[in-house]
Structure 1
Amino acid sequence: MPLAMVAPGEEVKVVSIKGRDNTKRFLENLGFVEGAVISVVTELAGNVIVAVKDTRVAVNKSMATRILTVKV
């Protein structure tokens, strides 16, 4: 399921990232790597705010649709 469809408060695991190499690299640098457990904090003004490792990161909806996840 794409990250954009995950409900706030849910924990999910990153399965894969779709897109071009530079998009994948950008998201990996933010902490969205395969196997990482992340949780959606909230949605705000079209952005998805996600807790990754020990930080919170905001990604827009189009980026969030490229991150495929499964429920933990």
Structure 2
Amino acid sequence: MMPLTLAGIGERNVIGRVGGNEETRRFLGNLGIINGAEITVISAIGGNVIVNVKDSRVALNEDMARHILV
């Protein structure tokens, strides 16, 4: 597994694990970022990413993206 920040643009990935503290996991879970969900990186600029997850586009800063392992 690797952090989402290292995933290629346009590459479909499956979320293997969501790390971080309870508050971070709850926040990401509310966005649909949970284990087993499919996620695609749309754009990446300076570690910040825009992803497509569950038919929604979500912008994540580098810190949040590092907690998502694909």
Determine if the TM-score, normalized by the shorter chain, exceeds 0.5. yes
- Distance in 2 between the 1:48 and 1:56 partners? 10
Partner of 2:3: 2
Partner of 1:35: 36
Structure 1 residue ranges (4+ consecutive) displaced by more than 4 angstroms after TM superposition? none
Partner of 1:52: 53
- Distance in 2 between the 1:68 and 1:4 partners? 9
- Distance in 1 between the 2:33 and 2:13 partners? 11
> Which runs of 5 or more structure 1 residues have no equivalent in the other structure?
none
Higher strand fraction (1 or 2): 1
CA deviations over 1:6-39 (Å, ceiling 9, x no partner): 0110000001111100000000101111000110
Task: Give aligned pairs, total.
Answer: 69
- Distance in 1 between the 2:26 and 2:13 partners? 20
- Distance in 1 between the 2:54 and 2:20 partners? 22
- SS of alignment partner, residue 34 of structure 1: coil
Partner of 1:63: 64
- Distance in 2 between the 1:11 and 1:2 partners? 14
Partner of 2:24: 23
Name the aligned partner's letter for residue 2 of structure 1.
P
Identity percentage of aligned residues: 48
Across the aligned residues of Structure 1 and Structure 2, the Cα RMSD in angstroms comes to 1.0
